[in-house]
Structure 1
Amino acid sequence: MIAAVCLGFFGATLALLGMKCTKIGGSDTTKSRLTVLSGFHFLLSGICCMTACSIYARRITTDFFDPLFVKQKFELGAALFIGWAGSVLCILGGLVFCLSASESFSLKGKYRYTGAPSFGTTHRQHNRTANSLQTEPREPRRPLQRNAYV
């Protein structure tokens, strides 16, 4: 559990550094690598937590059903179920981090944002009928004036 907590802490720190909104961390490729690294930390943290909770639950159940065990017997409690749920969420979060960063590596040059269409004050009317959807060519973009957004 100590290893899970340490790995989770380092994963959260690397995830904060790997976000696009932070100024620390360098370029976008460096931030993507930090995100993948934090995903691996979260995966390992979830696996360590799952292992620790499962080992303790196994010990509790073997002691509970052992007729020769005379000490106080424990039952599976809420802490174990919270530990299992937390480890599953940590594993899923690590997978999401790893998969989201791997998509940014593979789709780097395929899609490009060209900006929102300009809705200037043009008085063109669109001639569209119910059966045909024809679009007219766009006007070239004009630079924004001084008070464009006011």
Structure 2
Amino acid sequence: MKKRLVQILGFLISSLGWVFVLCTMAMDYWRITQLGGQGGSFIIRVAWYWSNLWKDCFTDSTAVTNCRDFPVLWTVTPFVQGVRGLLMCGLTFGFFAVVLCFLGMECTFIGGADKSKDKMVFAGAVFHVAGSVADVAGYCLYINRVARTTFAASVGPGVLRYDLGPPIFLGLVGCFFILLGAMFYAVTVFRVICPESKVLYANQGGTYMVPRSRGQTYTGYYGPSLQYGSYLGSGSSSSKISKLSQTTPTKISERDAFV
């Protein structure tokens, strides 16, 4: 029951994170700057320049917006093209991650046996992490480009100093949710995928046990009367028992007994 609740929580958090990232692809005001707006006259003139991944726009004080769509695919500004590619790559990873985790969750009755379902959940968590890293790289690339112009000592004529808009922060929060959900998934199946090694000893007539390694288990009995051992392989249906070397007392000749 506890495993189910953790997986459901991870599914909700990671799905919410992907919704945030997907929304940022269509949102405006990735970067924005304001011109004018200073007092001193009865008419305050102000204008906003803003951009997203698809267009550059200008909004004046009368709320009239004029936009210029970015040109065809191969003539887009390189850093914008890179951000688009990273975000779309991350969303692709996220799609496969959501499907794998949904099929592998314990509360769903599809996906096969428990062992295969746990592997699917673990694979989905890996896809979540990969997609989140790709998205973070895209956002960081955009932030770096804006920050380089904003904090530059001098810029050329006509170059504006932009500020970061809400979609950047929403996307970073979404990436954090994705990583948190992937962590919840991994916690529920990590012990099953990578079991701990345990060695048990007993002094007298006990058992020495080593956990399964590469599909094999060795069990041997030792003590004062150790005579037999058994080797069990996962691929064999029956165990082979081999008798260990056993020393037998030699017969003492009559001449040696007399001496």
Q: How high is the TM-score relative to the length of structure 1?
A: 0.65
Pairing 1:101–2:189 present: yes
RMSD over aligned Cα atoms:
1.7
Which of 123, 139, 142 is equivalent to 1:56? 142
Match of 1:97, SS state, is helix
Higher helix share: 1
Pairing 1:3–2:89 present: yes
Rate the CA distance shift 1:52–1:11 in 2: closer, same or farther, 3 A.
same
Structure 1 distance, partners of 2:98, 2:130, is 13
Which of 136, 151, 155 is equivalent to 1:68? 155
Structure 1 distance, partners of 2:155, 2:131, is 36
Pairing 1:26–2:116 present: no
Which of 87, 106, 120 is equivalent to 2:175? 87
Which of 13, 32, 35 is equivalent to 2:99? 13
Q: Tell me what 1:42 maps to.
A: 128
Gaps of 5+ in 1: 108-150
Following superposition, the deviation at residue 104 of structure 1 comes to: 3.5
Following superposition, the deviation at residue 99 of structure 1 comes to: 2.3
Following superposition, the deviation at residue 89 of structure 1 comes to: 1.5
Gaps of 5+ in 2: 1-86, 197-259
Q: Which amino acid aligns with 2:97?
A: G
Following superposition, the deviation at residue 95 of structure 1 comes to: 2.1
Following superposition, the deviation at residue 60 of structure 1 comes to: 0.6
Higher relative contact order (CA 8 A, sep 6+): 1
Q: Which amino acid aligns with 2:183?
A: L
Which has the higher Rg, Structure 1 or Structure 2?
A: 2
Aligned length: 107
Deviation digits for residues 12-63 of structure 1 (CA, Å, limit 9, x no counterpart): 0111100122232100000000000000011111111111111100101112
Percent of pairs identical after alignment?
22
Higher strand share: 2
